[in-house]
Amino acid sequence: MLPKDTALKSGVSFLFLCLLFLFSCNNSHKEYGKNVFSYSGFLQEKELRGEVIELDTALFRYPFRIRIEGDKAVVMDLHGSEHYGHLFQYPSFRYLSSFGRRGDSPTEMLSMENFRFHNHKVWTLDANKSELTRLDFSSSGDSLLREETVTLDEDILRPLDFAIYNDTTFVIPDYSGESRFLKVNCKGKLIEKIGAIPTANEKALQQARPALAQAWRSFLDYNPHNGVLAAVTQLGEVVEVYNLKDSTHVVRIGEHDEPEFKVSDGYGIPTGIMGFSDVQVTDSAIYAVFHGTSFKEIARQSGKLPDGGKYIYVFSLKGEPLYKYVLDHYIYGIWVDEATKTIMATDVNSDQPILKFCFGSV
Amino acid sequence: MKKLSVFLFLLCIVAIGAIKKQSSHQDKVSSLLLYNIEALAAGETMRPVRCLGRGSIDCPASHDKVDYVAEGYSLEKWR
């Protein structure tokens, strides 16, 4: 080979390397922090069959949440026509009474996003009135009576979920996108901002933060025994685990990735998939209901698809994927009792909307 | 050949410099300015947000809970 050819060849190689360097400098990679991990599978998978609990009342339009404490069960109806909350005897599911009357008056509710048991009382959240309300059990224990209302500060935008941190503090997702969660005291005042949306979408973070926060709407749960606050995204497949005792934070992103959306008129329009719909942190694990249905398919079927998720994902308290339960019903809200290895769930598609799953040992 | 290598090297430096300059210029554009440009551009062709069905998605416009949110007057793009 001629020396001239060799020189030309090395020149072309040099040019190729320069171009490679040039592109690597300008390509926009998804860059996550060191505490962000992806997952694509679970250690074990199991099918669970649901047992339908027969109710003697037809109360529900959209049973969204279920919680049980002692011998009482509360089921929340997201689209309740007269009341948003219904109290039952447990485990018989004998209807006792309803609470959270729908209406415009000061003692009525415009919406109910969620409710929580705390110290044998019930707290409810009305996002449209930006209010938290405490209800106490009557002396007979058969009804819930409105006792206290906390109006949230005006700088707390649209509170779409809440968890009770301790006797005086609530945790609420930050809808402004400036942080991830807000700690709010029992007077409704903002006392602390926690974390940031763990997105790799730098452009949205800089230019469309409110729309980003809408797309990252998350459901949360906090367990004061282990200090774990878990948040799951309604769009996409992101699980965040904050340990508020040791201040660690882990993010797990599944194969459906982070929430997908586009910005229209300043709003975040969902474009990817419907992700999680409920989460519970028990003393030993995190349980979350997962849907996985694309919005394209939901719109194409226009109401013909069953609403809800057919999967319950179980993560460790550090967010490691453990079990995947495949269900024979589409469900929305869950209540996990690890002592009896049962999961109570709500099904918005059925007139008999309460289901019981036994998960035993996997 | 040495001249060619030097020429290619300088060409790459100039290209990198030009791209960096352009991206730093983009950083200087304030988000307020971008919002204003978007608002002006939207103008009469603004596409409204439509919330449909009954579900658990929080409609950003009406604050109702809906099945899905669509952009514009038509659902053609979904079909």
**Candidate from A78, A214, A268 with C-beta closest to B65:** A78
Sheet holding A163-166, edge to edge: A163-166, A169-173, A181-185, A190-194
3-state secondary structure of A271: coil
Residues B41 and B28 both lie in one domain: yes
Q: Note whether residue A249 is domain-resident.
A: yes
Nearest beta carbon to residue B12 from set A22, A268, A296 = A22
- Please state the φ and ψ torsions of residue A354, each to the nearest 5 degrees: -105, 130
In B, minimum Cα distance to A112 occurs at: B65
Task: Please tell me whether residues B23 and B37 are part of one structural domain.
Answer: yes
Comparing CA positions, the residue from A177, A22, A196 lying closest to residue B23 is A22
Across chain A, mean pLDDT equals 92
Domain span including residue A144: 34-358
Q: Which residue from A62, A127, A126 is spatially nearest to A135, judged by alpha carbons?
A: A126
Q: Are residues B66 and B34 in the same domain?
A: no
- Do B42 and B52 share a domain, yes or no? no
The lowest-confidence range among A12-26, A44-58, A119-133, A320-334 is A12-26
Tell me, yes or no, whether B21 and B6 share the same domain: yes
Based on the fold, state whether residues B56 and B31 are members of the same structural domain.
Answer: no
Average pLDDT, integer, range A246-273: 95
Q: How confident is the model at residue B79 (pLDDT cuts 50, 70, 90)?
A: very low
- Coil, helix or strand for B19? helix
Provide the CATH number for the domain around residue A324.
2.120.10.30
B54 and B64 share a domain?
Answer: yes
Enter the tokens of residue B31: 């988000």
Distance from CA of B15 to the nearest CA of A (A): 8
Residue A118 CB burial class (10 angstroms; 0-12, 13-18, ≥19): middle
Query: Do both B37 and B55 map to the same domain?
Result: no
- Domain for residue A134, yes or no? yes
**Is residue A25 assigned to a domain?**
no
Domain count across chain A: 1
Is the pLDDT reported for residue A4 higher than 70?
A: no
> A57: pLDDT confidence band, cut at 50, 70 and 90?
confident
Chain A's closest residue to B79, CA to CA, is A300
B60 with B72, same domain: the answer is yes
Candidates A207, A269, A303; nearest CB to B31: A207
Beta-carbon contacts of A230 under 8 Å, excluding residues fewer than 6 positions away, are A220, A221, A222, A239, A240, A241, A242, A279, A281, A286, A288, A315
* Choice between A52 and A56, residue whose per-residue pLDDT is larger: A52
ipTM of the complex: 0.87
* Peptide bond between residue B60 and the one before it cis (omega within 30 degrees of 0): no
Instruction: Show the CA angle centred on residue A46, arms to residues A163 and A332, nearest 5°.
Output: 35
Residue A32: per-residue pLDDT: 85
Q: Quick one: which of A180, A160, A183, A187 has its CA closest to A170? A: A183
pLDDT in tens, A66-85: 999 999 999 999 999 999 99
Over residues A169-197, the pLDDT tens digits come to 999 999 999 999 999 999 999 999 999 99
Q: How confident is the model at residue A30 (pLDDT cuts 50, 70, 90)?
A: low
Eight-class DSSP state of A235: B
Mark yes or no for CB contact B12/A19 under 8 Å: yes
Residue-wise burial string across A318-333, b where 16 or more C-beta atoms lie within 10 A, e elsewhere: ebbbbbbbebebbbbb
Query: What residue in B sits closest to A19 (Cα-Cα)?
Result: B12
B41 and B64 inside one domain = no
- Give the pLDDT band (50/70/90) at residue A92: very high
- DSSP code, position A60: -
Domain limits for position B73: 47-79
Count: domains in chain B: 2
pLDDT digits (tens, 9 = 90+) for A123-153: 999 999 999 999 999 999 999 999 999 999 9
Any domain includes A337: yes
Residue A6 covered by a domain = no
Which of B50, B56, B63 to mutate: most A Cβ within 10 Å? B56
pLDDT-wise least confident of A103-112, A178-187, A325-334, B1-10 = B1-10
